[in-house]
Chains A and B, each alone.
Chain A
Amino acid sequence: MPDKNYKRPKNLDLLHIRLPIGGFVSILHRVTGVLLVLVLPLTFLLLQESLRSPESFTQVVALLGSLPARVLLFFTTILLAHHFLAGVRHLLLDIDAGISHGGARLGAWLVLAGVMAVAMVTAGRLFL
Chain B
Amino acid sequence: MIPMNFRSSGSAHRGLGEWILQRLSALYLAGFAVWIVVRLMLLAPTDYVAWKAWMADGGVKLAFALFFLSVLVHTWVGMRSVFLDYLKPLWVRTVAQLLLSFGLFALAFWAAQILLVDARA
Contact A91 B23 (CB under 8 A): yes
Within 8 A of A (CB), among B81-121: 82, 107, 110-111, 113-114, 118-119
Contact A48 B51 (CB under 8 A): no
CA distance A51 to B97 in the complex (A): 32
Q: Which secondary structure dominates where chain B touches chain A?
A: helix
Of the four ranges (under 10, 10 to 19, 20 to 34, 35 or more), the interface on chain B belongs to 20 to 34
Q: Does B39 count as interface, using CB distance less than 8 angstroms? A: no
> Which stretch of A3-11, A18-26, A80-88, A101-109 is in the interface?
A80-88
CA distance A30 to B78 in the complex (A): 8
**Told that A33-B78, A48-B118 touch, could you supply 15 new A-B pairs with CB distance under 8 A?**
A33-B79, A33-B82, A44-B114, A47-B114, A47-B118, A48-B114, A51-B52, A51-B114, A51-B118, A57-B47, A57-B48, A58-B48, A84-B33, A91-B26, A94-B23
Binding site for B on A (CB under 8 A): 30, 33-34, 37, 40-41, 44, 47-48, 50-52, 54, 57-58, 80, 84, 87-88, 91, 94
Binding site for A on B (CB under 8 A): 23, 26-27, 30, 33, 47-48, 51-52, 55, 71, 75, 78-79, 82, 107, 110-111, 113-114, 118-119
